[in-house]
Amino acid sequence: MHPLIDVPSLVRTRGGVALLDVRWRLGGPPGIEAYRRGHLPGAVFIDLDRDLAAPPGAGGRHPLPDAPAFQKAMRRAGVRQDDLVVVYDDADATAAARAWWTLRYFGHERVRVLDGGYHAWVDAGQPVTTEVPEAEEGDFIARPGHLPLLDADGALAVAKDGVLLDARAPERYRGEVEPVDPVAGHIPGAVNAPTHGNVGVDGRFLPAGLLRERFAGLGATDAAEVGAYCGSGVTAAHEILALTIAGVPAALYAGSWSDWITDPTHQVETSD
């Protein structure tokens, strides 16, 4: 199944569909505020910090939730094992990609990201509502391991022998600024590939061919071992989604930089 769905295709979709609103901003405001002002009819709000991550700790700022917690959150949102799940946010699909990746990792096979998100829906003249639906309890069973996952040692190995993409902004990659984490820089050997290069000005993903060209220019092809990380595993999921569209298999370092720097023996690089 292609990981994206556009507005016309979503409108035409019939049958069971779980719509998940995953609006989120690093540092706030909380996405629930935007959800309450208006959302797609039938959409259930998912809190990235609460539902798509475990509490911050040794595993980073957004470590993966354990299977029972994630299953409970998705069932509460009405996610069923065999129904289509469509996720969206109101930016460039950064938060939606985290939901897409996490659902796929835990074994849901029918997950798609609304390309262009909430704004694409509104721009197409489709209705929004402030009514909060009462989702029927889902039956999703969370089984981890359906997508490749890296730990710190695995990320370093990919950086040495394959291509490890750093999805953060160039100035954070170079260690010139670090607004979130206590240490600046990047994993030695990583290649910078900011996620803003995956989308156009409208927040929609570039065509698959252009994404393939972009990643091939960085050495990331289906002939290489490819991984991705960011600050805490959120924007890196966006990178994995773009790579998937491009036809390039890739593994996510979920703990990312915020996990890497918890080990004082890990080296830090600050040059290009």
Domain identity same for 159 and 97: no
CATH number of the domain to which 71 belongs:
3.40.250.10
From residue 81, give the alpha-carbon distance in Å to each of 5, 216, 263: 19, 35, 38
Q: Give pLDDT, residue 1.
A: 84
Q: Give pLDDT, residue 34.
A: 97
Q: Give pLDDT, residue 272.
A: 75
Domain identity same for 41 and 76: yes
Domain identity same for 168 and 227: yes
* Domain containing residue 63: 4-123
Burial class from Cβ neighbours inside 10 Å (0-12, 13-18, 19+) for residue 110 reads middle
| Active site (annotated) includes residue 44 | no
pLDDT (tens digit per residue) in 20-53: 999 999 888 999 999 999 999 999 999 999 999 9
**Dist CA 22 CA 51 (whole Å):** 10
Would the pTM of this model clear 0.95, i.e. be above it?
A: yes
Domain identity same for 95 and 170: no
Domain identity same for 204 and 112: no
Regions in the chain scoring below 50 on pLDDT: none
Domain identity same for 94 and 45: yes
| 85 within a domain of the structure (yes/no) | yes
Domain identity same for 207 and 111: no
Q: Give pLDDT, residue 180.
A: 95
Sheet holding 84-88, edge to edge: 4-5, 111-114, 84-88, 17-21, 44-45
Catalytic residue among 96, 230, 254, 261: 230
| 144 within a domain of the structure (yes/no) | no
| 131 within a domain of the structure (yes/no) | no
**Domain count along the chain:** 2
Domain identity same for 101 and 156: no
Q: Give pLDDT, residue 271.
A: 82
Domain identity same for 96 and 185: no
Q: Give pLDDT, residue 58.
A: 85
Kind plus residue range of the DSSP H or E element containing 210: helix 208-217
Q: Give pLDDT, residue 27.
A: 87
Domain identity same for 116 and 178: no
Q: Give pLDDT, residue 152.
A: 98
Domain identity same for 67 and 153: no
| 272 within a domain of the structure (yes/no) | no
Q: Give pLDDT, residue 16.
A: 86
